[in-house]
């Protein structure tokens, strides 16, 4: 583990058997996460990007230890999170929290939002009585809400305000790492910017690290320090943000950029690339390079030879063009 890594994933896999129940034969395996390795440093934001169904959210759930892996390790401050028990596990749960796409899902409509945030403290046995109330108030102010909001119910809030409450709840236990799964994709554009700015301010203020999961490259470009591009359960490119956006190495990254960020005057011109077809089933991925049926740069070895991870100027890419 590098000295300042907060989290390090080593060959993490999550495969789901299909069938294989009491009355059904095993018909296959869905390789949702298929050998993912990367690290997140203290105070860093790693953007995880890819089309829906590529395994991003499953990876997020593994990092939160809401799922158990089929193979591989996830080290948080050097300890394998899947081996933690008792007090160590409780400590881990405090230090790694989640920001949801739909904040409503973490808020009980029958509870005031103040009680919902206080509940997070209660669950983790942190602060009681007056102290808990003071901590809730402090959290509300930190996320840009006001004292009087504490006694209101979720239906009285806009989407952006609800996400602020969701962030306050996630911050209640003073975490070090936040897994944010599409935290702004359900919000209007103008509100998205406010929530992203809030997350950046909180990061600076509290020294937080983020695993920021999104399909929107514009959002990733705004928040991330490094970018991991995921396709069919694997990381196909991992680079510093500036490098990804100025010179993508992997043809899939190139295609995502071409679709999301049309060239502007004075900037490098992207070739116009149409990313055809659907993401293939992770139960039956294509042979060779799994991206080859959709790749605009595919050549002779691609349908039959599996590309290996290669380091190019400190960047990681999985493609025969660089192997």
Q: Which residues of this chain interact with ligand SF4, rule CB under 6 A?
A: 250-251, 289, 291-292, 295, 297-298, 302, 307, 319-321
Q: Which residues pair with 199 in a beta bridge?
A: none
Nearer to ligand SF4, 64 or 302 (CB): 302
Please name which of 131, 132, 202, 193 lies closest in space to residue 167, comparing C-alpha atoms.
202
How far is it, in rounded angstroms, from Cα 166 to Cα 53? 24
Query: Closest approach of Cβ 98 to ligand SF4, in Å?
Result: 32
Please give the angle made by the CA atoms of 138, 117 and 184, to the nearest 5 degrees: 95
Query: Closest approach of Cβ 263 to ligand SF4, in Å?
Result: 22
Nearer to ligand SF4, 159 or 293 (CB): 293
- Residues present in the chain in total: 323
Q: How many Cα atoms within 13 Å fall on the side-chain side of residue 63?
A: 33
Query: Closest approach of Cβ 31 to ligand SF4, in Å?
Result: 17
How far is it, in rounded angstroms, from Cα 277 to Cα 184? 26
CB 43 within 8 A of CB 113: no
Nearer to ligand SF4, 224 or 255 (CB): 255
How far is it, in rounded angstroms, from Cα 67 to Cα 179? 14
Nearer to ligand SF4, 144 or 301 (CB): 301
Nearer to ligand SF4, 248 or 307 (CB): 307
Tell how far CA 197 is from the center of its chain: 17
Nearer to ligand SF4, 45 or 239 (CB): 239
Query: Closest approach of Cβ 309 to ligand SF4, in Å?
Result: 12
How far is it, in rounded angstroms, from Cα 309 to Cα 183? 30
Query: Closest approach of Cβ 124 to ligand SF4, in Å?
Result: 44
Query: Closest approach of Cβ 213 to ligand SF4, in Å?
Result: 22
């Amino acid at each position: 583990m590098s000295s300042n890594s907060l989290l390090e994933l080593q060959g993490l896999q999550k495969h789901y058997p299909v069938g294989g129940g009491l009355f059904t034969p095993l018909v296959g395996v869905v390789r949702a996460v298929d050998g993912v390795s990367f690290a997140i440093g203290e105070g860093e934001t790693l953007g995880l990007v890819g089309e829906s169904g590529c395994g991003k959210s499953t990876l997020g759930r593994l990092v939160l230890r809401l799922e158990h892996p089929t193979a591989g390790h996830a080290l948080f401050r050097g300890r394998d999170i899947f081996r933690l028990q008792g007090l160590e596990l409780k400590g881990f749960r405090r230090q790694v929290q989640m920001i949801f796409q739909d904040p409503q899902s973490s808020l009980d409509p029958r509870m005031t939002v103040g009680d919902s945030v206080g509940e997070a403290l209660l669950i983790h046995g942190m602060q009681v009585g007056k102290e808990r109330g003071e901590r809730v108030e402090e959290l509300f102010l930190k996320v840009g809400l006001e004292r009087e909001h504490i006694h209101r119910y979720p239906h009285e809030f806009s989407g952006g305000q609800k996400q602020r409450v969701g962030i306050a709840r996630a911050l209640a236990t003073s975490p070090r790492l936040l897994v944010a799964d599409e935290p702004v994709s359900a919000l209007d554009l103008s509100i998205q910017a406010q929530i992203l700015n809030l997350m950046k301010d909180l990061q600076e203020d509290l020294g937080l690290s983020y695993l920021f999961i999104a399909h929107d490259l514009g959002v990733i470009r705004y928040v991330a320090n490094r970018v991991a591009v995921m396709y069919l359960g694997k990381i196909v490119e991992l680079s510093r943000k500036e490098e990804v956006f100025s010179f993508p190495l992997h043809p899939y990254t190139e295609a995502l950029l071409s679709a999301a960020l049309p060239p502007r005057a004075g900037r490098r011109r992207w070739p116009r690339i149409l990313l055809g077809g659907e993401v293939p089933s992770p139960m039956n991925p294509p042979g060779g390079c799994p991206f080859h049926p959709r790749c605009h740069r595919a050549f002779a070895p691609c349908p039959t030879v599996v590309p290996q991870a290669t380091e190019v100027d400190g960047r990681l890419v999985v493609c025969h063009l660089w192997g």
